[in-house]
Amino acid sequence: MDLLHHLLHLEQRLLSRVVREDAAELALLIADDFIEFGASGGIWNKSDVLEALPQQTFTPRTVSQFTFKQLSEDSALVTYHCHTGAVDQRMPADSLRSSVWRRQGEQWQMVFHQGTFCVQP
């Protein structure tokens, strides 16, 4: 599997119910020095994510317009649109996402993630 498809697979795993509800699996995919700037304006580190995600109500999400840029032999930037069914019609459901992934040995881990809500027409 080429790197683009591998990183898409990892992003989709992080959006899946199975992984989001499993702190041990999350811990493998998220680097110890991880930081996230969320679409809601919050800032999270790895321990915040491991504590909060398994407790959140699951919302299905899909990915489109996935792109990647290799930054070095062991790091890459991915960007994509994330589509979520609207829970509240006053809140945007789609967001632009970016993640930085770093290879640690044979394992790729997310070190940075940012979400930005998209304005709906």
pLDDT tens for 35-55 read: 999 888 899 999 999 999 999
pTM to 2 decimals?
A: 0.89
Q: How many CA atoms lie within 13 A of 14 on its CB side?
A: 21
Q: Is the pLDDT of residue 33 over 60?
A: yes
Which domains can be identified in the chain, with CATH numbers?
3-117 (3.10.450.50)
Q: Please state, in angstroms and rounded to a whole number, the distance separating the CA atoms of residues 20 and 53.
A: 6
